[in-house]
Amino acid sequence: MFATYTTFTVRYAETDAMGIVHHSNYPIWFEAGRTDFIKKLGMPYSKIEERGFMLPLLELKCCYKGAARYEDEITVKTTLKGLTYTRLVFQYEVFKNGGQNPITVGETVHVWTDSKLKPVNIRKAAPDIYQLIESTQD
């Protein structure tokens, strides 16, 4: 299964008064992983949007199992858990400092729409985009 690994260092601004990463940052990290995933397929979000297609968020799930702190190295593993003609489900695992167990896991569900946010069947509207994303399921 195709997966991407997006790595960065925790910034001071991402921490709270307790010195740990604030929970609100994890969805931002998921987005970084998701955009990196699509970019590494060969078609960045910007090109998809230029063609008139959007992927708004429908659902967000996040489960915190550990904590990260300032200057920790973080890796977000992103995979595509589900694919239909109208939706994508991404799965995320966040690891700290090369650890074996994720400190956070999550999922996001997105729907394909046109630029006016009307749902579309991406397989019919842009078969090349659908095939590119479907190729990750092999």
Question: Does the structure show a pLDDT above 90 at 57?
Answer: yes
Whether residue 114 lies in the annotated active site: no
- Residue 51 is classified by DSSP as T
* 32 phi and psi angles, rounded to 5 deg: -60, -45
- pLDDT tens, position by position, 86-122: 999 999 999 999 899 999 999 999 999 999 999 999 9
Residue-level pLDDT at 1: 82
Residue-level pLDDT at 137: 85
What structural domains and CATH numbers belong to the chain? 3-137 (3.10.129.10)
Q: Using CA atoms, how far apart are residues 86 and 113, in angstroms rounded to an integer?
A: 8
- pLDDT tens, position by position, 6-39: 999 999 999 999 999 999 999 999 999 999 999 9
Query: Which one of the listed residues 16, 72, 114, 138 is annotated catalytic?
Result: 16
Q: Using CA atoms, how far apart are residues 116 and 59, in angstroms rounded to an integer?
A: 19
C-beta separation of 77 from 29 below 8 A: no
